[in-house]
Amino acid sequence: MTQQHGVELRTAHKVSRRWPLISASVCVALVVALGIVIALRPTQAFSFDREWMGEIVEHRSPFWLAPALVMNSLGAGIIGVIVVPVVTIVLLLLFRRPWAALYYAVAIIVSAGVVQLLKATVGRSRPKAILVTADTGSFPSGHTANAATMALVLAIVFPIVWVWVAGSCYTVAMMLSRTYLGAHWLSDTIGGLLLGVGVAAMVWAPFAARLETERRAPHPPVWSRSSATL
């Protein structure tokens, strides 16, 4: 057995833990259960949903509208669906993290697919106080799921405190912006958060060993190697 093969086996053993997969399954199960409850309720909005929306509408102002619209663009449309994922994948490749780029791409695609499946199945109506144009199906929040998926993927790929903090802040900001714009009930964003985290953790499982090996490998960024040869 070669030394490199032994390192790979130890790495695979080290990252083969059950709790991330179990936690991910619990998150996804909670989203499905919440969707079932919403679909079966005569009044689909919970009392805390209506109370939160009432507070949001009462305190709307032009000062908060602009950043909310920016978050709206970052999470959907050409920017959210194409520009942000492509830029993220390119940056990961420039950092010489091809497995991380593949992990991110798969997680984002799976997250978006599950969101659309739940939207069509649950069929929840959006709040009447909506300020933006949106597709049908309010549960779960696709913007929030996308933000949570991306945040956890990057936090796993780059296990640095500021990456975790930035990802958490971005996800919370996305949740607040979706309710501020009236595009989602509060419970929609909670469902999106759980779904995004669950999918990112679940997709991580088959990539875990390779991601850990790739992270430990001393590969400088592409631009660093290019400048060294000049």
Contact between 15 and 157 under an 8 Å Cβ cutoff? The reply is no
DSSP 43: S
Question: Look-up: residue for tokens 């929030």?
Answer: 144
- Domain assignment present for 87: yes
- Give residue 7's pLDDT: 44
Dist CA 196 CA 153 (whole Å): 10
- The pLDDT value given to residue 217: 77
Q: How many Cα neighbours within 13 Å face the side chain of 214?
A: 20
Contact 129, 68 (CB under 8 A): no
- For residue 125, give its domain range: 19-217
- If one counts the domains in the chain, the total is 1
DSSP 8-state code for residue 124: P
In a domain, 46, yes or no: yes
Q: Is residue 33 part of a domain?
A: yes
Which amino acid, 162? Answer: W
* Predicted pLDDT of residue 120: 94
Q: 77 in a domain, yes or no?
A: yes
Quick check: is 2 in a domain?
Answer: no
H helices, E strands: number in the chain = 11, 0
What's 207's domain CATH number?
1.20.144
In a domain, 150, yes or no: yes
DSSP string covering 186-199: HHHHHHHHHHHHHH
Q: Which residues contact 23 (CB under 8 A, 6 or more apart)?
A: 198, 201
pLDDT in tens, the chain (230 residues): 444 444 444 444 455 557 788 889 999 999 999 999 999 987 778 999 999 999 999 989 999 999 999 999 998 888 988 999 999 999 999 989 999 999 999 999 999 999 999 999 999 999 999 999 888 899 999 999 999 999 999 999 999 999 999 999 999 999 999 999 999 999 999 999 999 999 999 999 999 989 988 888 766 555 455 444 44
Look up the pTM and report it.
Answer: 0.86
Could you tell me if residue 34 is inside a domain? yes
Residue 5 lies in a domain: no
Q: Are 115 and 145 in contact (CB under 8 A)?
A: yes
Angle of helix 19-40 relative to helix 186-216, nearest 10 degrees?
160
